[in-house]
């Protein structure tokens, strides 16, 4: 059974080095971000059912700017650089951090940040710190657990449970979450239907 909402058009718009240079648009946008090598590009390609819409590579750190894709001519998918990539200079890491935070803090039409978490590993401090930073900036976010086909179900479930437990050390309630596998298209319907719901609210509010 397919999602209620299908992506017919997915067009690359451009890559921008800072929030100030991002396009001035009046439609909702959704940012995808996670630790480097979390499977972000594969997830984006799966959602849009395109083989190479977002660049995938075995070498992390390929996304170095703010990448915009126009979806069905009525909303934008924004691919942000991964954090935690070690094979760049400290200055470059700080530059990326500033670029990402300025984008998240200043884009008025950003509806939700999709924070990607690798479900194959125990909770990582870098992910917890990033999510807490989203909270400090009051950025609406949801969690997306990725690559759930790579380990045994019991291991995946244990890692997700541990991550939830860690988050509850800082948060009173947990955010909405999605369980995904790019290889198996798991979670595609749920994420697209969620975006459809948010788009409808955006339109109703007449922002």
Q: Is the pLDDT of residue 63 over 70?
A: no
pTM: 0.92
Question: What pLDDT is attached to residue 52?
Answer: 74
Averaged pLDDT, 135-151 = 97
Asked if 28 and 202 count as a contact pair (C-beta separation under 8 A), the reply is: yes
Asked if 126 and 162 count as a contact pair (C-beta separation under 8 A), the reply is: no
Question: What pLDDT is attached to residue 207?
Answer: 55
Angstrom distance (rounded) from CA 106 to CA 16: 15
Question: What pLDDT is attached to residue 55?
Answer: 58
CA-atom Rg of the chain in angstroms: 16
Domain map of the chain by residue range? 10-205
Residue 34 CA to its chain's centroid (Å)? 6
Q: Is the pLDDT of residue 1 over 60?
A: no
What are the tens digits of pLDDT across the range 157-170? 999 999 999 999 99
57 — pLDDT class (breaks 50, 70, 90): very low
Asked if 146 and 41 count as a contact pair (C-beta separation under 8 A), the reply is: no
Half-sphere exposure of 110 (CA within 13 A, CB side): 28
Give the C-alpha distances (Å, rounded to integers) separating 72 from 44, 48, 78, 134, 195: 15, 10, 14, 28, 12
Query: According to CATH, what is the number of the domain 10-205?
Result: 3.40.50.300
Provide the 10 A C-beta neighbour count for residue 89. 8
Where is average pLDDT lowest: 35-49, 152-166, 167-181?
A: 35-49
What are the tens digits of pLDDT across the range 78-112? 999 888 766 677 887 788 889 999 999 999 999 99
């Amino acid at each position: 059974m397919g999602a209620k909402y299908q992506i017919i058009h997915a067009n690359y718009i451009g890559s921008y080095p800072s929030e100030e240079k991002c396009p001035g648009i009046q439609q909702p946008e959704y940012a995808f971000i996670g630790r480097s090598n979390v499977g972000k590009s594969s997830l984006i390609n799966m959602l849009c059912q395109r083989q190479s819409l977002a660049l995938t590579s075995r070498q992390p750190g390929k996304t170095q700017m703010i990448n915009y894709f126009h979806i069905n001519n009525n909303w934008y998918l924004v691919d942000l650089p991964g954090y935690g990539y070690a094979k760049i200079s400290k200055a470059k890491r700080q530059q990326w951090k500033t670029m990402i935070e300025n984008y998240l803090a200043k884009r008025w039409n950003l509806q939700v940040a999709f924070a990607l978490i690798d479900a194959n590993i125990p909770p990582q401090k870098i992910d917890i710190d990033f999510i807490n930073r989203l909270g400090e900036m009051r950025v609406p976010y949801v969690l997306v657990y990725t690559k759930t086909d790579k380990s045994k179900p019991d291991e995946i479930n244990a890692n997700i449970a541990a991550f939830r437990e860690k988050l509850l050390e800082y948060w009173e309630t947990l955010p909405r979450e999605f369980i995904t596998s790019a290889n198996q298209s798991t979670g595609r319907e749920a994420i697209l239907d969620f975006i459809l719901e948010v788009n409808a609210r955006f339109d109703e509010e007449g922002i």
